Structure 1
Amino acid sequence: MKLVNDFKDFLADTVNLNQTRITRLEERVETIKSFLRDSDWEPTISTFIGQGSWAHDTIIRPVDGGEFDADLLVRVRPVDGWSAAQYVKDLGRVFLESGRYADKTVVYDYCVTITYADDCKIDIAPLVMDREYQGTLEVCDKRNDKFDESQPVEYTRWMREKNGYSGNNSFRKATRLIKYIRDIKKRFSCQSVLLTTLIGHRIEWFDKDSAAFADTPTALQTIMVRLDDWLQARPDKPEVANPSLPTENFADLWNDTQYANFRNFVNKYRKWIDDAMAAETRSDSIEKWRKVFGDDFAKGENVKKAEATASQQTLSLLKEGAAHLGTLVDAVIDFGVSILPPAFRTPAHLQRPPWQPAQHVSHNVQVLAEYRSSQSSGRGHPVNSGEALPPQGGLWFDLRVNKFQMVPADCYVRWRITNTGAVAMALKKGRGGFEKPNDRNRRWESLQYRGVHMAEAFVIRRSDDQLVGFSEPFYVVIK
């Protein structure tokens, strides 16, 4: 069943970024514009351009305490003699030297990021106009000190044109829903610009006024069916050209493993959506839509939930100890780590922290992970907690405090690595103790044993060996 009204409520109450946050974001953007116009930054500012999901109106509410971000391009006239890196570095200097933004600023390769105390961050990137000839627009790559052509206005125009073919903004709403599935399930990696482009190619001019995009659930089903058909016809990673700059291949944002994983999960979710649409009763349809979106869909409805069944199965498996069967891994891959009960986090072989807690212990410690084919291989790709990974290669774990800050020099870090799963336990490799970092505060862990494993970071003050902060578990799911 379509449940059109339930989708309307679900978007308004759960998926869409609420108006209070949008208003606060717009106010902050205007303040940043005024700050830059009044600053001593040398480039002459022509105008400001919104980019990404904020500009496309496909921005969604952050899930699980995450952040939402907005991209702001500063279109400037070229400065004689300036390199690409200089535009970004000097923009960072302006913010770092200010009383208002110094403690919120981080300078990255292409942009300066301002992170606010709540769940909002704004990326500000220089966009140099007419540097080589009239009409060119270029972003600045600080790391490689080079200019890269960009057409952000054309891309936004392309997205709006695509949405115009659908009825009642259904295409834009379906795009938000697919982003929500990505963020709430954490089953695949796909950066927003790549995902948005893939979705955008699933509607054409001849779809205008057709029944395939008449309402939100129908548009969602149409997009997922067309996307799955396209992916299944391409077992190897295809090209995904930037529609506004055909020489740029957005598929470069994936590696082959990420593409295969995305392809598999789109196929799975397509089938779940088909089942939900085909359900003949409201109760059955809600249950099946909740399999896709979680319990927040049709809140308040008293129907049985597939997630609850999976969670009950998880509890039964845990009664047998940490050497759980592959069934648990399959359930977590399907439904996410949210089905894991609290007892999963405290298996019998888990060691307690040996440090005395300080008077105030911060929970604002975040674990980051990067997949690499080997410990010494080149740059890898970021991995989300709970993302399904193959039993090969490994992860470099790192951490930040207060969302983006490095661990202070007066503290040291220990990692608690807890393995579970039948194979690891049979080989007496359950661990659950504390490990030193391998490289500064980073810790390398290879991916070997099928199971749902945990990595946690603990921050200890050097002067008195007291615990001052620790993270939530980062779940590593090995297929």
Structure 2
Amino acid sequence: MTGTDLHDFRTFLERHVNIDRARLRRLEETVQRLQAALRRHAGFRETEPLFLPQGSWAQQTIIAPGRRTDFDADLLVSRRPEPSWSARPAEYLYSLQAMVAESLGSRHSVRVKTRCVEVSFEDHHVDLVPYVPRPFTGSLSPGSIVNRAENRFEPVDPDGFTRWFLDRDSAAGGHLRHVTRLLKFARDRESGLEVPSVILTVLLGRQIRRATAAGGGYIDLPTALRTVLTDLAHWLSLRPTLPEIADPSCSKAEFGHRLNAHSYGRLRSWIAECSFLVESASTAQDDTERLRCWRLLFGDGFGE
């Protein structure tokens, strides 16, 4: 890699990929107002709630909306278990939806989705995810979220997942978060590619090896991108059918059900294509060819 490559990556992240500070401030202010409104609701206070940032917001992999119309953040809403809902977990979602709607009135759109209550604002939305800690553990983790479509609980360890990802990022010299942002950006450019961010995050994080780090495999961002994609493309090539994609922080949780045979096949071919383009760019002797490969992956904004 050359100094020019490093400069191009930094510039591309700043101009096209990273979410800007103004948007992040609006998101933080929105979450604060939303929390305050909910805490004024007597019924909500009685559930003994706690809030916990989750997903790309907590893992520092949130990206600018790009061609999408808005951006979003996940916020777990931990609450006291309701024994009468043990066979009807979807009630946690319906209850939260009702309390959010009562707290906000008609000022914002509030709708129930499979695992969250989505609250829409001007250019962003917040996904409130009901979270039920396991009783008598003395800790928020592990616990369960709710799958409304299947009316069942799904085990998760939200604190553990975030700690796992940040540990992998540290092992990769702080470059994993940027690799993840770049590939989320590239994913959003691909029509017909339906890969949830959590699956992409898990698959990328699982490729990080401390021995590889010791050998310089993540010495800078372009090198880390090349190493991680090479390893992931190889891992996927050995698995022609959808494998189990386990939650690295919770032995009882698994994410593979969020894909199907078609979307997994599309993911495999896309990662192989990404790896090929990155390898071609990394070994190109000509600056024009190198830039052409990067732009095939990231668009014409790269290297501008």
Instruction: Map 1:294-305; keep pairs closer than 5 Å.
Output: 294-299=299-304
Which structure's relative contact order is higher, taking Cα pairs within 8 Å and 6+ residues apart?
2
Distance between the aligned counterparts of 1:283 and 1:90, measured in 2? 57
The change in CA–CA distance for 1:187 and 1:7 in structure 2 (over 3 A counts) is farther
Work out whether 1:248 is the aligned partner of 2:253.
yes
1:41 is aligned to 43
- Please tell me the residue identity of whatever aligns with 2:54: Q
TM-score w.r.t. length of structure 1: 0.59
The change in CA–CA distance for 1:198 and 1:101 in structure 2 (over 3 A counts) is farther
* Contact 2:245/2:256, CA 8 A, preserved across alignment: yes
- Describe the SS at the equivalent of 2:30: helix
Q: 2:185 aligns with which of 159, 162, 180?
A: 180
- The CA RMSD over aligned residues, in Å, is 1.9
1:69 is aligned to 72
* Higher alpha-carbon Rg: 1
Gaps of 5+ in 2: none
- Describe the SS at the equivalent of 1:45: coil
TM-score w.r.t. length of structure 2: 0.91
The change in CA–CA distance for 1:284 and 1:256 in structure 2 (over 3 A counts) is same
Greater share of strand = 1
Distance between the aligned counterparts of 1:150 and 1:101, measured in 2? 32
Instruction: Map 1:269-284; keep pairs closer than 5 Å.
Output: 269-284=274-289
2:132 is aligned to 128
Deviation at 1:262, TM superposition (A): 1.3
Q: 1:191 aligns with which of 196, 199, 205?
A: 196
Deviation at 1:224, TM superposition (A): 0.8
- Describe the SS at the equivalent of 1:153: helix
Instruction: Map 1:316-335; keep pairs closer than 5 Å.
Output: none
Q: 1:31 aligns with which of 19, 30, 33?
A: 33
Identity of aligned residues (%): 32
Gaps of 5+ in 1: 300-479
Instruction: Map 1:64-463; keep pairs closer than 5 Å.
Output: 64-82=67-85, 83-100=88-105, 102-118=107-123, 120-131=124-135, 135=139, 136-167=142-173, 169-186=174-191, 188-299=193-304
* Contact 1:95/1:101, CA 8 A, preserved across alignment: no
- Describe the SS at the equivalent of 2:198: helix
Distance between the aligned counterparts of 1:154 and 1:215, measured in 2? 27
* Contact 1:165/1:203, CA 8 A, preserved across alignment: yes
Deviation at 1:187, TM superposition (A): 5.2
1:4 is aligned to 6
Distance between the aligned counterparts of 2:172 and 2:159, measured in 1? 21
- Please tell me the residue identity of whatever aligns with 2:164: W
The change in CA–CA distance for 1:269 and 1:141 in structure 2 (over 3 A counts) is closer
Greater share of helix = 2
Distance between the aligned counterparts of 2:213 and 2:302, measured in 1? 28
2:19 is aligned to 17
- Describe the SS at the equivalent of 1:65: coil
- Describe the SS at the equivalent of 1:211: coil
The change in CA–CA distance for 1:144 and 1:265 in structure 2 (over 3 A counts) is closer
* Contact 1:95/1:102, CA 8 A, preserved across alignment: no
Deviation at 1:133, TM superposition (A): 6.0
Distance between the aligned counterparts of 1:270 and 1:187, measured in 2? 19
- Describe the SS at the equivalent of 2:82: coil
* Contact 2:115/2:147, CA 8 A, preserved across alignment: yes
Distance between the aligned counterparts of 1:109 and 1:65, measured in 2? 21
Report which stretch shifted further, 72-81 or 41-50: 41-50
